[in-house]
Amino acid sequence: MRINARLDDEHAEKLTSLTRATGASITEVLKQALDVYFEQLENSRGSAAEILEQSGFIGCGEGSLHLSEQYKDSLKKSLVTKHAHR
C-alpha cells in the first residue's frame, strides 16, 4: 500500500531524527511505529471477559445464590406457571 501523508514540522523532525538515529528508511520507521501502536492497542483491550467485567456487565444480575446449580428447576417452575394460566 502506498501512503501519502502530511506531517507538521514537529513530526517531520521526529521522523527525520528516527531515520538518522536508526539508519532505517522512512518506510521501516513507519512500519515499526505501526507495529508498536497496534500491539499497544491489542494489549490495552484485554480479553472479552475483562472487557465485560470492566463495563460492569459481569456481576450485574440478581438471583438465587444457587441458581447455577438449580437453573433447570427454576426454569421448569417458571414454564409451568406461565402455561398453567392458559
**What pLDDT score does 57 carry?**
78
Calpha distance 5→19 (Å, rounded):
17
User: How many domains is the chain built from?
Assistant: 1
pLDDT of residue 86: 63
Under DSSP, is residue 28 helix (H, G, I), strand (E, B) or coil? helix
DSSP 16: H
**Residue 17 lies inside a defined structural domain of this protein:** yes
- Whether residue 69 lies inside any domain: the answer is yes
Q: What is the mean pLDDT of residues 24-46?
A: 91
Confidence of residue 23 (pLDDT cuts 50, 70, 90): very high
28 lies in some domain: yes
Report the alpha-carbon angle 11-14-18, nearest 5. Answer: 140
Mean pLDDT throughout 53-74? Answer: 80
Residue 67 falls inside a structural domain: yes
Residue 64 in domain: yes
Domain of 22?
9-84
How high is the pLDDT of residue 49?
Answer: 81
- The residue-averaged pLDDT of 23-40 equals 95
Within a domain: residue 3?
A: no
Does residue 41 belong to any structural domain of this protein?
yes
Q: How confident is the model at residue 85 (pLDDT cuts 50, 70, 90)?
A: low
Q: How far apart are CA 55 and CA 16, in angstroms?
A: 41
What is d(CA 13, CA 20) in angstroms, rounded to the nearest whole number? 10
